[in-house]
Structure 1
Amino acid sequence: MFIDIFIVIARYRGRFLGILTVITLISLGIALLWPKTYMSTAKYVQYDSSVSGSLGGLISSFTNLPSGGEKVNTEQSTIILRSRTMLDTVIEEFDLASVYEKEIQEELRLKLEENTIIEEIREAGIGFNPIVSVSVSVLDRDPQRAKEMVEFYLEELDDRMVEINQRNAQRILTAYEARYQQNLTDLETATQELVDFQKTYGILEPQTQTAALIGNAAQVKAQMTALDVEIGVAQSLLSASSGEVTELLERKRQLEKTYNSLIVDPVNATRSPDEVFTDATLDVFPALEDMPTLAAEYLRLFREATVQQEIYKVLLPQYEQQKMMVMESNSGLELIDQPNLPTYKEKPKRAFIVIAGFFFGLFAAFFSVSFADFIRKGKQGEQSEAYQKYQELMSVFQKS
């Protein structure tokens, strides 16, 4: 079998070598004339480079409130790079319609996608692992333009990531700001209501003031009891119209007025029970019978003011920190490899083209000499049946 093949090649060696040489030379010419294509590459990673990141984490650990806002991660950055908007921006920036000699936008996008290589480097392991770094490469006939296109890709990516991050942070800031302003209003209202209540009823410490009122009332009651004994003794020794009895009765009347004022009417409980309680002192402390209701109202107002104050303590740091996050919004991109200016072509692979042409030439030359040998044998009648079918086929093509 192999001997027959070599015999055929030897018989038609001129044709065989001619075809092989021509095709090999054609492939060599193609390899030499094929336009050179250069590739520029850059590689980046993403970090959380926010200055207030640690502060935000500390505040969030105490408040359990979200801070910062959703940021574009590395996975999403590759989506932005491959987006139609990004492709259209690059096409317009570098006038790729004239470079690629195409007018249809869809064809331009497909061509740019072919010339843009985005490679994701992931952590080693089984399953879906996070991206460690991303490399962006651009193929172009002009090495300088390839470098500039990679730089433009990265600049646009950074700008769009900053824009999205800032918009997300601003959305959270708006929510915090609305709640913070509401808290300021509520705190001012609660504080003013508490101040007005204290101005009206003079309550600062319900428990302490109630104890003081009860103590004063007890002292007044004790003095009244002692005075009753003294009046009884005086009336038994003196006439009812005597000056001493009249004076004792007047003192008793004043003490009863004082006692009733402590129980029913507001009085100045800070004064000694021996002092005379005048109308000018009746608006400082409430009566004992009003204390439960007033104390409950005071505690409610005090609680509301305290709650609003605690809310303020929580919201203010978060609000201020969120404003910092908006001002410091960034992409977090860090370049590991800067875009390079290629000095050696990426394509074409001339050796591969020549080798492929050589093997194709072998195939074409062998097919040609095999066919020539088939015709020779047919004319000599060695393959009459196959040769007749060949002649019949050729006649059909000639008629058509």
Structure 2
Amino acid sequence: MKVNYILLLVFMLSIFTGCKEKSSEVTITGQLENVEDGTIINLTKSEGNIAIPISTDTLREGKFRFTFKDSINEARLFSIMAKGDGFPPTWLDIWVAPGAKIEISGKDKLIRTWNVESDITEQKELNQFKSITGEYQKMIQSIMTEAYSYFDARKKNPEKSKEYVAKMDSLYAIRDSLDILIIKKEVDLLAQNKTYSKVWLQKLNDHSMPLRYTELPQEYIDKMKNLYENMPKDMKKSDTAQSIYLSLYPPTIVKEGDNMADTDMWDVDGKMHHLADYKGKYILIDFWSSGCGPCIMAIPEMKEISEAYKDKLTIISISSDTKDIWQKVSKEKDISWVNLNDFKGEDGIKIRYGVIGIPHYVMISPEGKVITSWMGYGKGSLKNKMEELIKS
């Protein structure tokens, strides 16, 4: 009996010791050259379309550091962003896992091509992709930094707006051609190394997604379709794989004069709704997200028109946020009109309406027919649209 007790004690101690040694603390250290001290470095993680801040550090003697506890027991994707003049409007993807020690180094402000070293399998695989497209990524970041400077210049010198827009359009065209080259190289690598890993799946999703709003060479569309079709059956059930399918085999987009597209959606209290429930009045669909500045700016004006046209119009806001973020922001902004979510993010009903940017609005007739749609918001624009579209 005593022997059994001792063995049990040894067993419990071994478990305790093993747990103690496997720390969940993550350490990320950075060493940068040619970047000014005082630069703000941000660490974020994604929740749907929203970047959630995790930590912030200020560059001192070219160094930054993040230390935090990660409650997830598997590798997941985080991002590093930097604020300051000369940084491109982009981010650095890094894979994080409990107990990981991650080292980042860079020799300039082209953040997307900073080196990331760790023992995390996913990071090593991601680095393979970076190694074959690094030069293209550097060129794109330089182009986007220049384009962003013209964007700021437009605000300071509105009389030169046309000149700056022309320069930006020229730069965007070069960027787009470089994006195509990156897709070609990385899709070839996906076909060569069919690892079917998280990184592999995410890369296929990243490169099929542009098909929703632009054209790609048919050769590479066919290659991506082939990669999807030969994917393991279990993998096809994942949310990412379903997103890939919708990009490669898009559903029909409703157009002016068509019957409105509909689906199952829920309000903040968990009750199911359909657009058809609101036929009989005009319907203004508002596709939005809490991370979209103009979407949030439009809320006061939507409150006004919801009251002004309450006998003739139903506003239906459809969020692409995750449940928790959507419920939190809906409460903070006191959204009093119909406010729904299909919990499918970019892969939900917004695809049926051809939404490629938000805010995106769709006007539906009382009979359920699509009247028109438009993107973007400026002060007074919704009031003007309602005056134009709602017949007295």
TM-score, normalised on structure 1?
A: 0.17
Looking at secondary structure, tell me which structure has more strand per residue.
2
Q: Which has the larger radius of gyration?
A: 1
Question: Which structure would you say has the larger RCO, counting Cα contacts within 8 Å and 6 or more residues apart?
Answer: 1
TM-score, normalised on structure 2?
A: 0.17
